Structure 1
């Protein structure tokens, strides 16, 4: 069947939230190692430089979120910002509560208390329903447990009924009574592998075309067929402008660290040219000083002295390491400058966020601040002057984002991947403690 002409979303006004859980605290929920590569490669495809539909900063990844807060905050922000397309993807375990309502499992989900520890699909549906976006796309790659399969069999097409929203396209990895499939040893789950293959076709596929491609692939492998629900002709949207090859994606929790560093404004080659110019100018001034006498010679000598001092300063700067690093990893976050370093571990952090201006009277934008737990020791080595303006010793200013050339969106993504739901917005920090104003 020939597909309709694809429509491409406006990347500037579109948002995507990719959520995945691969490891679970409860032993009744087996790990799904393929979820991490699912997130990495799907984001890579959506933000592909040549044929992707989104800029990287508009595609959020939540890998193994431990609580509802980080998921809710990401959905709420995307719902508020998206105007053309809002895409929400989940990979992991899908579980049902006693009433047969579908919940998305988090890393801390207890299968015996799904209603309290999982994310109800109804909550995701409400976020999608509130979105201003003209098109909302929900993609679920859920691996169901045996109990969930039985409940779904009794409820018929309950999954589709729950997700029936006006102006949405819903794509699920299985029927209402079958589990998703994650082949052992494969990089991706079966459904997401077929989805990525659809995005890598020579010609862009619409959502309807993507569903048809995935259906053909899974049916040919003898796996449960994916389900689709399109409302208000939403199936003509394309998620890629051409073939996209998976590449290195955003932080997904497996990297040893994320390091932010401001690049020097001038490359060393330019500074070397400046040094040569200074030397030549000094030579010319010295020659003129020999030829002339009186006040003109004095003026030339003063200019030569100034140029000499400028040359010395330039040489010092050339030898000096001006790099300032902000490091985020699985143990904590900190700063490094030459031999000096400071660090605060995640175990001592109650929350962390970026204030639009520093506490006190000095207008310094985008200050990274940490609120420590009540029993945590206060770390040393951070900026002394900025930390003197804090309300009490539970707060620590890690640094100013401009010093490290950090984009706030990328920093938030790194913190959420390594530390879960500890990140707070500027408004949330001020509501928590008005003294930070």
Structure 2
């Protein structure tokens, strides 16, 4: 059968657009099927923590944001376990915040980058405008164009994945993620801060450059509390965040409208069928506490592009054996990341005092062991995932 397109990508989010650029670079004819944006959409307040592997992928398709303020380097990650007696509120002084762990980047490097979503989407759009071989289609007009391979990148609620009969095993968390942007009295200093507060996890991610005073909030809280927070006016919401983080950055002011979404762990089984593959959130979803969701999705499309590029010349793009190479290559890293986020969530959510004691001991032990901290940084970079500890030098 002769197809007008080699690959049809369903879903025009960051993962789908990146895949379109990767495949067009290989001289494949790509259809990128997108939904038209709603008429009145509030400004996007999301920000993603991207690692070195994700940056390399985006750099390769010339989509990394040029503006230094749109991709703020994280030079330090500070994590604290808030004592149970504090009622889920971080102490005003970091020294009193209970056991903590600090990761510092090497000179001239970054642990990660906090990337403004609108800026990243604008760079991807610009790259697509200059990339031959990609045709952007309206999903309302042509929801699924004929192609040798269809890649579903429609997110967790993909209707096409359901129609294709892929199982998607969901495990809801009792949390909603509340996202917002806040202007702070003191500069963040390129530090990403995270507090584990029993039934909630609060993260403040640095934005607007290394010495900026803007942070992205990701606050995982029980559903009922999320509804309360999202119902507050701007001043009350900022005050609630300021109190919860113990005035870590001084007075705060909300910028834009906070948003929330329910959290879940999910995994598709299988990921591929003849002529069809899943990628990104259509294949998996995880808790945001480790900030790895988009990194894993970009890892999917980088691997799929590699498998298609290295296929035998006679093998069709939609060949099941070919697509299973992609599925097998992604199985271990995705499963490991899902297990890690699950384990961290369970460990820090456990109120038992004995578990809290062991947890505190573990944080202090890791903080003292430089080779182990270096290994964690290496894994988080995405460049050498799940490598042996013995390869790390102190």
Which of structures 1 and 2 has the bigger CA Rg? 1
Bigger proportion of residues as strand: 2
Shared fold (TM-score, shorter chain, > 0.5): no
Q: Which has the higher contact order (CA 8 A, sep 6+)?
A: 2
TM-score normalized by structure 2? 0.24
TM-score normalized by structure 1? 0.23
